[in-house]
Amino acid sequence: MSDVAAVIGVVGAGAMGAGIAQVAAMHGHAVILADAQSASVARARSGHVKAMDREVEKSRLSRAAADAVLARMTYVDGVSEAHLVAFEPCAMVIEAIVEQLVPKQALFRALEAVVTPSTILASNTSSLAIAALAGACTVRERVVGVHFFNPAPVMPLVEIIPCILTAPEVSAQARALARAWGKTTVVAADTPGFIVNRVARPFYGEALRLREEGVADAATIDWAMRTLGGFRMGPFELMDFIGLDINYAVTRSVFEAMYFDPRYRPSLAQQRLVEAGWLGRKTQRGFYDYRDGAVKPEPQIDAVLGQQIVDRVLAMLVNEAVEAVHLQVASVADVETAMMTGVNYPQGLLAWGDTIGAGTVLSRLETLQADTGDDRYRPSVRLRRAVRDGVSLQDPRRLA
């Protein structure tokens, strides 16, 4: 599979699909990229040309090498049965279409009619169940999650998500392929949000709660998380960058898939912005105003307040990482790797928890739960056991 002779198919020519196609082509594979929208195909083609021009300008590729990458790309304008026949020679087809279960299931069923029995069908979904996709297929064991991060040519992390139906050799081949493309891989259980989108929820959710409670405004919370917490971006500027519609949709998807666990409860304030069409940078309004002439709000520079903000958000993040290990979403090592490479956290959350002190994290959560009566702050059983036994949060053993 990692052999460059393998043809790679990508369905969905948006930012993610186009990026994945670029990665594959730059590593020597012939790539077939299709989309139902002609405009998306045209944008992807134009984007690839511009990307290769940049590679040449920065002396990372010769003109001949860049042209060879573009020559390996085949663009298909449509995803009807007649169009999908183009994917027949593919060793793997990665879907990166709309984040909805029914269209993804329909696409996989349509692909099964044209690809070989050994073709791997991979999904770039960020939150949908891989088992639900595989269950809709005839050859179910060939389906696996292969979740890239945006922008795919730049971000190093790929989450590999086998489901209960996935053949072990399929997930192994998918992981080997991602590694051959220079990616860092982690293995996640087929649970809502996988690793990154699950563990990162408190970075946004607790920041939103702090703002809603009037503890601090968005600019102050962002300042605290950047300056005192060491994060590259604060939660509100990051939500504006991602797109509030996308960030909110992932939060709601995880919340609903986790049977409405209050740990993942969405924010009404964020929902109202989405309903108003204020989606962040792409609409010039979000938590911040990006229009010409808009004045950027100044944060309240208060070290004591800032540290309270960081402490509260970090306690929630560490607890979520501990819970992910406790519920076998991923190994200790993969949780740490995922959060540092997938969302650029300054250090692994379990190591960070050890630095803070597991007892301190537990005390902060218990205080918040007692003060608010909100079960969102309930400490992980594994956190309690680590404190009880004096064990590092990075200890890979099961804690009984």
319 catalytic residue (yes or no): no
CB neighbours of 103 closer than 8 A, spacing ≥ 6? Answer: 97
Lookup: tokens for 387: 């404190």
* Whether residue 235 has a cis bond before it, omega within 30° of 0: no
The catalytically annotated residue of 40, 126, 267, 380 is 126
Q: Are 193 and 201 in contact (CB under 8 A)?
A: yes
The catalytically annotated residue of 124, 127, 171, 197 is 197
* 158-194 b/e (C-beta count within 10 Å ≥ 16 → b): bbbbbbebbbeebbebbbebbebbebebbbbbbbbbb
Which amino acid is it at 14? Answer: G
The catalytically annotated residue of 95, 159, 320, 336 is 159
247 catalytic residue (yes or no): no
Determine the angle formed by the axes of helices 201-212 and 235-242, rounding to 10 degrees.
120
The catalytically annotated residue of 48, 147, 247, 267 is 147
Distance CA 16, CA 141 (A): 25
Distance CA 64, CA 125 (A): 34
DSSP reduced 3-state for 326: helix
Q: Are 239 and 315 in contact (CB under 8 A)?
A: no
326 catalytic residue (yes or no): no
Spatial strand order of the sheet with 120-123 comes to: 73-77, 31-35, 7-11, 90-95, 120-123, 143-148, 157-161, 184-187
Could you count the other beta carbons within 10 Å of the beta carbon of residue 128?
A: 19
Length of the chain (residues): 400
DSSP reduced 3-state for 300: coil
DSSP reduced 3-state for 91: strand
Could you count the other beta carbons within 10 Å of the beta carbon of residue 335?
A: 26
Lookup: tokens for 30: 């012939």
Distance CA 372, CA 343 (A): 29
Question: Which residues participate in catalysis according to the annotation?
Answer: 126, 147, 159, 197
